[in-house]
């Protein structure tokens, strides 16, 4: 399983919206950046992703699951743009802020720090575990809820 991070401005599409969308999930549409698109093409069903609020909040608030592989983005006719579907899986009990991430030496190489503007990012396994720990999700709890 691979791990990812999805960024969204909460006043456009928030974690709350995502949760209300339920288990069917929703298209992660509107991405118009090749690197972000390429990341989505690499995603497999069941891969997990952090849900990050940009602009406002500036914190990781939830964990989502990829529930549909990359397919054409329905919001454009331009065949270049594809997206996956994701669904909300679990809240992060204690949201992890960008500040905390930047302050943690273990997360110095995280894309959120090094490639600030990329909207769909890969997350390494050790980074995933560290952020989960910081967010109050110990491995046992993680196993239980996911």
Q: How far apart are CA 20 and CA 87, in angstroms?
A: 10
CA–CA gap between residue 20 and residue 38 (Å, rounded) = 27
Verify binding: residue 142, DNA, rule CB under 7 A. no
The CB-of-60 to DNA minimum distance in angstroms stands at 11
Based on the shown chain and the rule CB under 7 A, indicate whether residue 58 belongs to the binding site for DNA: yes
Outline where DSSP puts E strands in the chain.
Answer: 3-8, 26-27, 48-53, 59-72, 82-97, 120-123
Q: Which stretch binds DNA (CB under 7 A): 32-40, 42-50, 61-69, 131-139?
A: 32-40
Of 42-50, 67-75, 95-103, 134-142, which segment contacts DNA by CB under 7 A?
95-103
CB of 7 to DNA, least distance (A): 5
Report residue 121 CA to chain centroid gap. Answer: 8
Q: Count the Cβ atoms, other than its own, within 10 Å of residue 95.
A: 19
The stretch among 41-49, 66-74, 96-104, 130-138 that binds DNA (CB under 7 A) is: 96-104
Residues lying near DNA in the complex (CB under 7 A) are found at 7, 9, 32-35, 54-55, 58, 98-99, 102, 115-119
């Amino acid at each position: 399983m691979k791990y990812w991070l999805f960024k969204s401005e909460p006043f456009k599409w928030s974690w709350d919206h995502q949760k209300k969308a339920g288990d069917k999930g929703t298209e992660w549409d509107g991405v118009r950046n090749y690197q972000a698109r390429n990341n989505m093409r690499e995603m497999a069903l069941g891969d997990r992703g952090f849900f990050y609020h940009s602009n406002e909040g500036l914190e990781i608030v939830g964990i989502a699951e990829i529930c549909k592989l990359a397919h054409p983005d329905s919001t454009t006719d331009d065949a270049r743009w594809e997206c996956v579907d994701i669904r909300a899986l679990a809240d992060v009990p204690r949201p992890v802020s960008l500040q905390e991430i930047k302050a943690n030496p273990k997360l110095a190489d995280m894309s959120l720090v090094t490639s600030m503007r990329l909207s769909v990012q890969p997350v390494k396994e050790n980074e995933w575990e560290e952020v989960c720990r910081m967010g109050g999700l110990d491995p046992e709890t993680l196993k239980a809820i996911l």
